[in-house]
Every structure is written in structure tokens, then in C-alpha cells.
Structure 1
Amino acid sequence: MAHVLMIVTSADRMPNGEPTGLWLEEFAIPYTLLRDAGHAITVASPRGGTTPIDPRSAEEKTPAEWEDAAARLRQTQPLDGLQADDFDAVFIPGGHGTMFDFPGNLDIARLLARFHDAGKPIASVCHGPAAFVGVMRTDGRPLVEGYTLTAFSDLEEKLVRLDDQVPFLLSERLRELGGKVENGLPMLSHVREDRHLITGQNPASSKKAAELLLARLAD
């Protein structure tokens, strides 16, 4: 049994005042797969406590198979004080909230740099790779430099009409940091795996990204 850290957003508002947060599917599906495989899971966020869920991602009634996941989102641990050495892998779901409190977060940068240096799996989907922005490896280079990865595409951001609300276009920024970003068709599952970095493009990629992480943990 492995111990997996899942990092979720604490941000609940867009610049225009509209609610945002975590995209529920991107957490619930990987969480459930990891739980059912017998792995221990710690859910943490920048502020701790209850994680906001983007209302566009939530049904009026939470699917029964997601109820346990939803309950864990009401009691997240603060990132401050957590140590990467206590975990075997990290999974970072998205939601537009991540674009506001992940980039440049010192706790996230500290944890991910250590995960990378230790060669532990780092998995993320959709806007989750916003967590990579500002993370530097011990060699002084950006975390994503030289890695093939994917993330919510610039086209998808424009299709959902939120390109004027985010602080930057995520795929574009990851390319600027030296990442080899490969995007697939909008809103269809598209996953990339390069060494110990696993990334999915959008919510539809959540299951496949989690399955690749499970395969790594089974090695």
C-alpha cells in the first residue's frame, strides 16, 4: 500500500466574482480509484479546511460513488508542514481555482521539487499543472523543462470563454518554461507520461491519468 498526497485548490472566486474552485470529477475519479486499490490518501490544500467545488462541475446530487470523495474535500489538511518524504506519489486535480493559488505557492514548490528529486510520481490533470509554475528543480531549472506533458489547452480555455479571466493561458506558460506541451482534441481524453511525470489535458483525462499512476505504484 502506498501513501498518496492529493493537492486541491482553496480559491473560490474568479476575477469577475463568479464562483470557481476544484473540478469535482478530476478529484473524485482518481480518489476513488486510489482508495479502491487500497492506497492511503491525504488530501491537502493551501489553506486547509473545506475545498470550494466549481458549481459547473457538481450535480444537484453527488453521485453515490463520489460521496466519500466529496466528504474528504470538507476536511483537507493545510499544505504547510507536510513533507514529501512521507508520501510515495502526488496527484493534483484541476479546476480554475488552481490558476489563482497554485502558481508561486511556496509550499507546493517545496513539495514538488522534493518529489521530483526523489523520483516519485507526480500526476496532474487539466488546470492542476498550474502547480508546476514557479517550481524549480535542484539544478536551477523549471520543473517542466525538457518534459513532454499536457494540460488544459489554450483552445479549450477560449472555448469555455474564460481566457480573459485566468492570469495566463496554462499550456502557453508551460511551454515558456521549457515544457514540451502536446495537446489533443478539445474535451477528449489525452494523457502524456514522461519519466515520473503523468499529465492529463482535461476532465475526461482523469481516469486514464489515475490508472497510469496506479500502474506506477504497482511496480
Structure 2
Amino acid sequence: MLLMNDNTSFTIPKMDCVELMISNQPLRMNPGVQYKELVSRIHENQLKVEKSLLLPDITISLYNGTNKFPNSKNYLGYEIGFSIPILFSGQKAKIKSDKISISIAENDKEDLQRKLKFKREELMNEIKKLRESLNYFTSTGIKLSAEISQNAETDYQAAKIDLFQYVQSIENAITIEIEYLDWLSKYNNVVLELNYLAL
């Protein structure tokens, strides 16, 4: 309180450590997969543009002309045009290139999905292993820690153990709690990695 120049007392609220929930988001919702899907659609649209350039082009324009001289009149006019592509070889090469780009983009997307699926399976297996350790601590370890602390307290109060044995018992109880928190931290880190899956 002296360091804060304030006489009001404060307490830090106790926060329970909780296990994070696993999100079962489908792989197609992964940002990497969505990006690959977007790249594939861009190449498909590019292919449509290149194919449309093979079609005849019709142009219609209307214009209004005049000159700078006094008492000049407005001249209305129109123009109609029809163009037919004659040389297709360059355009066909671009179309072929776009088809290959689409194929590459689709293969990249499928490869990413396979890798993400494999990574997800690895993380799920790791979560199962960590879950077993957490189950031990929640079913046995925490109760054992509380029991050790309580027995040490009562035995010390009854003078059955000396201060050294009391401190050693409390240290053992705290070590069990720290191990639980360590396993919980590992579990939560793997769950976060799974929920925000990236390569």
C-alpha cells in the first residue's frame, strides 16, 4: 500500500483454472483452406474471362460532335462494330495455362486439407493422453493433496510431527497441485492449437 500511495486494501480474486473446450469446426472453415478455395475461384474466373475473349465482340456507340466556330451545329452520330477473333493460338495458350493453374490450386487445397486432417488426428491423440493424466489428478491427485495438507496441519497441531516434517508434507501437497496445473496448462495449449489449427 505504501508503494501505491493509497491506504485502501485490495485483494486479488482467486480464479479457477478450467479446461478449455474443443471446438469441432470443420476443416473447410480453416482460414488456410478458405484462402486456397479463394485462389481456386480466382483462377476459375480468370479462365472464364479468357474464354470470353474467344467470342465475337459487338460494339455500339453514340456520339455528339460540334466545332468551335460560331453558329455551329451539333452533329449526332452512331457507330456499330462487330469484331471476330481470327488468331486463337495465344488465347488458347492462356486458357490452357489457366486450366493448369486451377488444377494446381485444387491440388494445393486438397494437400492442405490432408495435412490439417493429419495434424488434427495427432493433436486429438495427444489430448487423449493428457486427458488421462488430468483424470488422475482430478479424481485422485487433488484429493490426495488436500488430504496431505489436512493431515499435516492436524498432526502438527497435535505435535505428532515437527516443523520440518510439516513443511515437507505441505511441499508435497503443493507439488501435486503444481503438477496438476502443469498438466492442465499442457492440455489447454494443445486444445488451443487444435481450435486454431494452422501449419
| Greater C-alpha Rg | 2
Larger fraction in helix: 2
User: Structure 1 length as normaliser, TM-score?
Assistant: 0.20
Indicate the structure whose relative CO is greater, using CA pairs within 8 Å and at least 6 residues apart. 2
Larger fraction in strand: 1
